[in-house]
Structure 1
């Protein structure tokens, strides 16, 4: 999935390394937070200014363990599983991103957190954007990583890429076809969206495939995509009514994936956008080059 549009200055940071799904530090605890019609499985650890990490499709909040371990040194780190995914509950509806943004607001409220930095990936970008549009006063800095935002910037052009066939895939028949074959389905994404599929290792694949095989998980995953038309309409309406986001934004693309098109997308939706690139990486930035990803995020959040 290479959306590269031209040359960009790569950051001289660590060589990509392979990483399995590591555990969160022992200092983290989990909470089942009931809010907005869902129960959100949430990892919480550290002290200091809050930062919320939102995952995407094909993974869960577990993807963020290396970044969480770094940020907890001086932040309160909050890592939910999106509704319907991971160990969060599997409601039948509410997968539009405005609704899921209120899940995030509810989690923050239950934890007594008024304002936070946001770090998001994939579907998490879309939930984070909706949250930032609806609760701009609650977001200090915003990092979006390697996925478009429905209705923002070159969304219609992005939809024509054949690698994104799964945006329109789903429904009862597709769910029956995938049932019991979750690993086969997910392998396609882990392989095609990697710069090198070997960097998304076997332990990680087994871990996430088991979570996506939980009852209701694949249905919920398909529903995340089915709401894209509604999400695009909602985002265009919010952008017209509220204007672009004003908080500092870091738009990060994998070198072999969205590259600097992430910044193109976000400049259509925010006024203060910095570009970042994860060198040698495809879409799965925390598996393909976690050291570079952590460094980019840390430097941006520290630039207060």
Structure 2
């Protein structure tokens, strides 16, 4: 594995060979190691680039980053991974949230998107029951509080809920600093700040894979229907929870490779 360090100190990890670059962006409460099984499967034919979101690595200083700062972090990583050619984004959780925002702002830098378990969450089409809304708000506000409390109280509280939710990350890697997106989002919503969030409208070819074994979905049926009615896109489900790529890594990897290979064949044809 080759590691490139950017000017801002970001570490980009590169493995594999190929004329196409996959940039992998994780979410909560993970780091770049979330994608280990995917890199092993993809690196024979694709150049795999991954990094930890700012503040997510153990030992990093906790910081509250806004949308502009996160977009700059993603732009730095993607330019390090592939300075000239557009990349394929492989996204999960908050990685989806930030990855969509980046793709809409930098159309020319993204060729395709593979998104895992988070779609048009929060859109007018994404309708949740009252119970699901309360569940989502409860855990997100809890994690926002954990960020505010800091490491002494926030770390054990964050690890407790991560275990309860089935997060696969090693317990020692999980810390309260990872919760800043929840604090940023809810503080902005409650104080009516302008957060700079664009409504999600993705025109790139997309493969969306989601887990069907969850209390509620982070996407609408309209999102699924639109993808499945678009020639260059598709939506697929696996019987997993939120961490699809870990719980059924082999099936997930096969789905992704088949889609990527089909897109590669289309390009050649």
Give the Cα–Cα distance (whole angstroms) in 2 for the partners of residues 296 and 259 of structure 1: 20
Q: Kindly indicate whether the alpha-carbon contact (under 8 Å) linking 2:117 and 2:218 is maintained by their aligned counterparts in 1.
A: no
TM-superposed CA distance for 1:130, in Å, is 0.8
1:160 and 2:133 are equivalent in the alignment: yes
TM-superposed CA distance for 1:259, in Å, is 6.2
TM-superposed CA distance for 1:122, in Å, is 0.7
For residues 226-265 of structure 1, give each alpha carbon's deviation from its aligned partner in whole angstroms, at most 9, with x where no partner exists: 23365996334x66xxxx3221111211021366946634
For 1:146, the equivalent position in structure 2 comes to 117
1:99 and 2:36 are equivalent in the alignment: no
Closer, same or farther: CA 34–119 of 1 in aligned 2, 3 Å: same
For 1:299, the equivalent position in structure 2 comes to 258
Q: Kindly indicate whether the alpha-carbon contact (under 8 Å) linking 1:144 and 1:250 is maintained by their aligned counterparts in 2.
A: yes
Closer, same or farther: CA 53–179 of 1 in aligned 2, 3 Å: closer
Q: TM-score, normalised by structure 1?
A: 0.70
Structure 2: state its 5+ residue gaps: 264-269
For residues 11-42 of structure 1, give each alpha carbon's deviation from its aligned partner in whole angstroms, at most 9, with x where no partner exists: xxxxxxxxxxxxxxxxx22333234xxx3232
TM-superposed CA distance for 1:88, in Å, is 8.5
- SS of aligned partner of 1:235: coil
Q: TM-score, normalised by structure 2?
A: 0.78
Closer, same or farther: CA 163–188 of 1 in aligned 2, 3 Å: farther
1:41 and 2:8 are equivalent in the alignment: no
Give the Cα–Cα distance (whole angstroms) in 1 for the partners of residues 22 and 70 of structure 2: 17
For 1:56, the equivalent position in structure 2 comes to 27
Q: Kindly indicate whether the alpha-carbon contact (under 8 Å) linking 2:12 and 2:80 is maintained by their aligned counterparts in 1.
A: no
- SS of aligned partner of 2:6: strand
Give the Cα–Cα distance (whole angstroms) in 2 for the partners of residues 263 and 295 of structure 1: 24
Closer, same or farther: CA 178–91 of 1 in aligned 2, 3 Å: closer
TM-superposed CA distance for 1:44, in Å, is 0.7
What is the number of equivalent residue pairs in this alignment?
248
Q: CA RMSD in A?
A: 3.2
Q: Kindly indicate whether the alpha-carbon contact (under 8 Å) linking 1:32 and 1:41 is maintained by their aligned counterparts in 2.
A: yes
For 1:120, the equivalent position in structure 2 comes to 91
For 1:234, the equivalent position in structure 2 comes to 196
TM-superposed CA distance for 1:51, in Å, is 0.7
TM-superposed CA distance for 1:166, in Å, is 1.9
Closer, same or farther: CA 255–151 of 1 in aligned 2, 3 Å: closer
Closer, same or farther: CA 149–267 of 1 in aligned 2, 3 Å: same
For 1:197, the equivalent position in structure 2 comes to none
Give the Cα–Cα distance (whole angstroms) in 2 for the partners of residues 94 and 268 of structure 1: 32
Structure with the larger RCO, 1 or 2 (CA within 8 Å, 6+ apart): 1
Q: Kindly indicate whether the alpha-carbon contact (under 8 Å) linking 2:21 and 2:82 is maintained by their aligned counterparts in 1.
A: no
1:283 and 2:242 are equivalent in the alignment: yes
TM-superposed CA distance for 1:127, in Å, is 1.1
Closer, same or farther: CA 261–149 of 1 in aligned 2, 3 Å: closer
Give the Cα–Cα distance (whole angstroms) in 2 for the partners of residues 125 and 263 of structure 1: 17
TM-superposed CA distance for 1:285, in Å, is 1.3
Of stretches 71-80 and 162-171 in structure 1, the one that deviates more from structure 2 is 162-171
Q: Kindly indicate whether the alpha-carbon contact (under 8 Å) linking 2:12 and 2:81 is maintained by their aligned counterparts in 1.
A: no
